[in-house]
Chains A and B, each alone.
Chain A
Amino acid sequence: MTSIPPLVKSIGWTRGITDTRAQMLDLQRQLGTGRIAETYGGLGSGRSLALSMQGQLARIDNFQQTIDTLALRLDMMSLSVDRFAELVDTTKSDARNGTFEFSSGDTTLSQDLVKGQFDEALSLLNAEIAGRHLFSGRTVDQKPVEATQVILHGDGVRAGLDTLIAERKLADAGADGRGRLQLINGGTSLTIAEDGDHPFGFKLAGISSSIAAATLTQPGGVAPQSAGLALAGQPVVGDTVEIALDLPDASRVTITLTASADGSAENSFAIGADETATLANIEAAIGTALETAAATDLSASSSVVAARSFFAADIDNPPQRIDGPPFESATGLVAGTADNTVIWYRGEPGTGSARDSSLARIDDNIVVGYGARANEEPFSWALAHMAAFAIEDFDESVATDEDRFYALRQKTVDGLSYGNGVRGIRAMQAEYVGLQSTYGAAQERHVATKQIAEDALAGVTQADDEEVAVKLLQLQTQLQISYQATAMIAQLNLAQYL
């Protein structure tokens, strides 16, 4: 016979009613908080998925924040680089169209325009966001470039660009203004010699002549060079003597002298009575030509070279100064110090790639390098030429100054076209456009992945309101029926029928 257990001990009571009530309370909690479980134990097998999705969402949030910061900085830098490129173009066209006209003072109209552009270019490089200088390499708290005035004219204690240019001009021109070349007349032979082994002045590149009776000695190639011209016979009218000279800025100028009857035209020499006299005339003509060339092409070249050297300096490599005074006979360079020479770039000198000075991690395995330094070649090269053009003084009354102006103008336009292995500003612009598209692509990926992760996480940890409501309803019905049945059973007692 199967016995019937007392009511309170029966499983119908314990499992049926108390458990159902406990389940209903839990479902109520789920509805109220929206969470399936309050601890990881209650999540069930979706636990690992929940953990890894949470981790992924946190990582994506961080990446998105980094991308926001990066976007801000990159946009600013890209803007600055674009504007710099525009200024370079404007300067080039202003210089190309410049004429030898003055408004007031010692500089021509085009030079005044270029000075304004140089000013703006320098201030672009000082760009900063939230105290972080964008073109200073790793030393982001350090303003990268000095003030325009200090760079161009020094501050009284430290020498500025104008001093360096002046010193270089003296060293290149020499005491006699002939570009550190000596003319030695030996009677029937003329020797043109560099006056020493140093980087200043003209360097002989070659000598050629159409004189039949001339014996030419080419420059030897080893400093100090000399070239020679010996006459065995008289030239005829129209014969030429050409001397090729290399300038310090690696350009070349050629002096051409033409034989004429009276030597009155420019760059001509008279045919003398004999070879000695002719040679003497040639010597005089060369001398005059050298002085003219020194005052125009060489002087322009000195400006450009000094400016390039000045703008290639940084705090680890101060600018090279001429060893002197006296500068006219200087034979070497000596490094300036931070105390006696203005160093235009005060940021991180840097040895490796400038991009690596600022890094941003925008994805698990993508670290974007976007840093920049103001002393990068696209900047410093352009600034050197702009400054050299803007700073030069001219005098209308000096005969050679107009030619000097045109020489400088040409060198400026050539320089601002980059080329010759110099990294251009266009390449830098392209780099920044590339970086912007990289983070744009990463941003899109993150948005898509975030959506997937959020959905997966919600599926595992969030209570679906409809599902919970249906379950609650089912349990409620069950509980009500159980209560009724329990009440019925409790009533059925033999004692009541006795």
Chain B
Amino acid sequence: MGLGGALDAALAGLRVTGASLELVSHNISNANTPGYTRKVLGQVEQAPGGNVAGVRLSDTTRVLDQLVNRQLQLESSGMGYADTISQYYTQIDAMFGQPGGAGALDTLMSNFTGALQELATSPESAIARENTLHNAQVLANTLNAMTSDIQALRTQTEQALNDAVGRVGEILQSLSDLNAEITTTTQAGQAPASLLDRQDQLVEELSRYIDIRVQPRERGAVGIYTNSGTLLLDGDPAVLSFDARGTITPEAAYSSDPAERGVGTIKLSSGSGYSIDLIADRAFRSGEIKALIDLRDQILPQAQAQLDAVADSLARALSAKEVGSSPATSGAQTGLSVDLAQLQDGDSITLTYTDGSSVEHTVTIVRVDEAGAPAIGNDYTANPDDTVIAISFAGGIAAAAADIDAALGASLTATSSGTVLTVLDDGATNTTDVTGLSATVTETSLSGGSVALAFFKDGGNPSIDYTARHGDVPQITGFAGRIQVNQALFADPQALVVYDAGIASGDPARPQAIYERLALADRSFGGATGVSGSVAFKGSLPEFINRVISFQGREAESAQRAFETQEVAYEQLSERRAAESGVDLDTEMAFLISLQTAYQANARVIATYREMTDMLMRI
């Protein structure tokens, strides 16, 4: 009370104004620092015992809208996801070539069928034969190159996952340290505004990688969980590890069984020694890490499956040969028999019979020699109405016939003699009738007497026959990377026309057959390729290729659109936050003026006090 109180109040005001000025200059100098929020100094009236005695400083607070901040973190993970997917899709899109360009897959297929037509018109022409082989080689090489591009992208994702998991670990560790610092400084009564800024920055960076939920803890610390509930940081940070593989091949796929897994997975080990496989747990729902996992395990393998289906079709359309049956009887039983000498692992036998109610049934028997191969269902073949049985011929045809007999049931009998399989009906009971029996085998020779030929082979050196062998890792997996034109054709291009001894060099039968099988015949492409949802696509090979290119183009476009949409949302929020917490030079300048005035006023008060005490002293 009194003059002394005025001096104290003015002094307090000077101090506070000085501190505010310091903060204003701090704000201005950090105007362009990323992640900096505008700070204001809190001022509280000093009023001990109800008497006004001046002003005192309270905390430095950040001007921040927590809601916008949280929203931004959410959108950040969406951005991370969309951005990564879009970037990789740009590369996938580029891989399929320019529309109408010379290297595009559909152009190469057209070139190949064009060369085949020329061959069919002039089978005797050496130029036409060379041209056909050349175009086939270019097509095979392009499929090889695209496979290697896709696998390179997968390897890139593997590396990126490694880096991302490493960075996430670092961030979690920094956040944990920061937690400790923040709680200490808060306890000591000093406002940790810049530490909180740093915390926000780290959390935002983390949210780009993983979609997280932030739980505020006491004294400014935070706990971090993924949106699916996995604990990342609460007190102690979780330890994340990633076992990256060096190179990724088409056969290397993700599996929750560690023995089968060919690619790395993210493991979380908590302090108590318990570790879980986060990918198997589906712990990630958005963010860059999820994007990389989706790319590595779904998107890129699907593109690979599409190319593999193209390669499989190229090889099998040309090498498939039908072996017909001949009638057979045994006592009262009648049926058909077929020679299985050329049946290889992956080939199949088709049996049709009518049962007691004259309903026709179709059974497809697939030769699967591998002991531990996964079971195959009725959707293994294009025909949705047939029953598919897998039989191993590893023990010889006799043993296989016994297995077939057991699988067919009581109304049909299957026996073998040498390499010939005979299926007979039930004889005297006369309820079933065997109506058809044929084997679809892979022609391995170039002049085997039929128009089928082994045009494409699996692998370069040495090359093996492609028979779509089923197994733990089916032969079709990654076949696009191994498909080659049969080298024997280069040595003897005549084999393109001469399919048997005595066939003339001008005989168009084989070239016409090759053209029809490749360009015109309808084939079925498995649901795994995804070009028509999850059902098989029926159409010719060129139509399938067009579908694949169209599919990938559309996906690339969608990814780009999704990214742009996400970017707009993110930028709008970012703008709002900047509007709220960014340093606006005009505001700071205006505040500076008012501080200056306040300082002058306080100084004036002190000067007036001095004058007044002087006056008193002069008495």
Which positions in A face B, CB cutoff 8 Å? 2-6, 8-11, 14-15, 35, 37-44, 47-48, 50-52, 54-55, 58-59, 61-63, 65-66, 69-70, 130-132, 136-142, 348, 357-361, 364, 367, 457, 461, 493-495, 498
CA of A130 to CA of B575, assembled, Å: 75
Could you say which of A4, A44, A138 contacts B507, with CB atoms under 8 Å apart?
A: A138
Q: Verify if B473 is at the interface (C-beta below 8 Å from A).
A: no
Contact A498 B593 (CB under 8 A): yes
Contact B118 A65 (CB under 8 A): yes
List A contacts of B553 (CB < 8 A).
Answer: 39-41, 43, 47
Contact B586 A66 (CB under 8 A): no
Among B554-601, those with CB < 8 Å from A are 554, 556-557, 560, 568, 571-572, 574-576, 578-580, 582-586, 589-590, 593
CA of A130 to CA of B124, assembled, Å: 11
Report the nearest A residue to B556, measured CB to CB: A41
Q: Verify if B113 is at the interface (C-beta below 8 Å from A).
A: yes
Contact B107 A47 (CB under 8 A): no
Q: Verify if B552 is at the interface (C-beta below 8 Å from A).
A: yes
Closest chain A CB from B558 CB (angstroms): 9
CA of A132 to CA of B107, assembled, Å: 30
CA of A37 to CA of B31, assembled, Å: 41
Closest chain A CB from B103 CB (angstroms): 12
Contact A62 B546 (CB under 8 A): no
CA of A132 to CA of B121, assembled, Å: 11
List B contacts of A348 (CB < 8 A).
Answer: 504
Among B77-132, those with CB < 8 Å from A are 89-90, 93-94, 96-100, 106-107, 110-111, 113-114, 117-118, 120-125
CA of A54 to CA of B343, assembled, Å: 39
24 contacts between A and B (CB under 8 A): A5-B576, A6-B31, A8-B32, A40-B550, A40-B553, A40-B556, A41-B90, A41-B93, A47-B550, A59-B113, A62-B113, A70-B121, A131-B124, A132-B122, A138-B508, A139-B505, A358-B506, A358-B508, A359-B120, A361-B120, A361-B121, A493-B589, A494-B589, A495-B585
Contact B114 A139 (CB under 8 A): no
CA of A498 to CA of B505, assembled, Å: 97
Contact A39 B578 (CB under 8 A): no
Could you say which of B121, B507, B554, B576 contacts A47, with CB atoms under 8 Å apart?
A: B554
Contact B571 A6 (CB under 8 A): no
CA of A65 to CA of B117, assembled, Å: 10
CA of A394 to CA of B589, assembled, Å: 134
List A contacts of B120 (CB < 8 A).
Answer: 359-361
Could you say which of A37, A42, A48, A58 contacts B114, with CB atoms under 8 Å apart?
A: A58
Could you say which of A44, A58, A62, A141 contacts B107, with CB atoms under 8 Å apart?
A: A58
Q: Verify if B525 is at the interface (C-beta below 8 Å from A).
A: no
Contact A359 B508 (CB under 8 A): yes
Contact A141 B589 (CB under 8 A): no
Could you say which of A41, A51, A61, A62 contacts B560, with CB atoms under 8 Å apart?
A: A41
A39/B556 contact (C-beta < 8 A), A9-B575, A51-B106, A65-B118 known: yes
Contact A138 B93 (CB under 8 A): no
Number of contact residues on B: which range applies? 35 or more
Closest chain B CB from A360 CB (angstroms): 5
CA of A495 to CA of B585, assembled, Å: 8
Closest chain A CB from B228 CB (angstroms): 32
Q: Verify if B512 is at the interface (C-beta below 8 Å from A).
A: yes
Contact A359 B512 (CB under 8 A): yes
Could you say which of A6, A40, A62 contacts B99, with CB atoms under 8 Å apart?
A: A40
List B contacts of A70 (CB < 8 A).
Answer: 121
List B contacts of A4 (CB < 8 A).
Answer: 579, 584
List B contacts of A43 (CB < 8 A).
Answer: 99, 553
Q: Verify if B542 is at the interface (C-beta below 8 Å from A).
A: yes
Closest chain A CB from B595 CB (angstroms): 13
Report the nearest B residue to A496, measured CB to CB: B589
Closest chain B CB from A498 CB (angstroms): 7
A137/B107 contact (C-beta < 8 A), A3-B584, A39-B94, A40-B552 known: no
Contact A6 B584 (CB under 8 A): yes
List B contacts of A41 (CB < 8 A).
Answer: 89-90, 93, 552-554, 556-557, 560
List B contacts of A8 (CB < 8 A).
Answer: 32
Could you say which of A47, A358, A461, A493 contacts B586, with CB atoms under 8 Å apart?
A: A493
Contact A55 B542 (CB under 8 A): yes
Q: Verify if B242 is at the interface (C-beta below 8 Å from A).
A: no
A61/B114 contact (C-beta < 8 A), A140-B504, A461-B99 known: yes
A357/B556 contact (C-beta < 8 A), A4-B579, A40-B99, A50-B99 known: no
Contact A132 B579 (CB under 8 A): no
Report the nearest A residue to B519, measured CB to CB: A59
Closest chain B CB from A262 CB (angstroms): 69
Could you say which of A38, A52, A457 contacts B98, with CB atoms under 8 Å apart?
A: A38
Contact B549 A69 (CB under 8 A): no
Known: A39-B96, A41-B93. 10 other contacts (CB 8 A): A3-B579, A5-B576, A41-B554, A41-B556, A54-B100, A61-B114, A66-B117, A137-B506, A140-B124, A359-B121
Q: Verify if B284 is at the interface (C-beta below 8 Å from A).
A: no
Report the nearest B residue to A460, measured CB to CB: B99
List A contacts of B512 (CB < 8 A).
Answer: 359, 361, 367
Closest chain B CB from A56 CB (angstroms): 10
CA of A204 to CA of B552, assembled, Å: 86
Closest chain A CB from B305 CB (angstroms): 19
Contact B117 A5 (CB under 8 A): no
Q: Verify if B466 is at the interface (C-beta below 8 Å from A).
A: no
Contact B99 A357 (CB under 8 A): no
List B contacts of A493 (CB < 8 A).
Answer: 585-586, 589
A361/B515 contact (C-beta < 8 A), A5-B578, A9-B578, A40-B93 known: yes
CA of A44 to CA of B99, assembled, Å: 12
CA of A15 to CA of B506, assembled, Å: 66
Report the nearest A residue to B38, measured CB to CB: A3
Contact A14 B571 (CB under 8 A): yes
List B contacts of A40 (CB < 8 A).
Answer: 93, 96-97, 99, 549-550, 552-553, 556
List A contacts of B593 (CB < 8 A).
Answer: 498
Closest chain B CB from A435 CB (angstroms): 14
CA of A138 to CA of B511, assembled, Å: 13
Report the nearest A residue to B557, measured CB to CB: A41
List B contacts of A361 (CB < 8 A).
Answer: 117, 120-121, 512, 515
A357/B506 contact (C-beta < 8 A), A5-B575, A367-B512, A461-B99 known: yes
List A contacts of B552 (CB < 8 A).
Answer: 40-41
Contact B121 A55 (CB under 8 A): no
CA of A47 to CA of B553, assembled, Å: 8
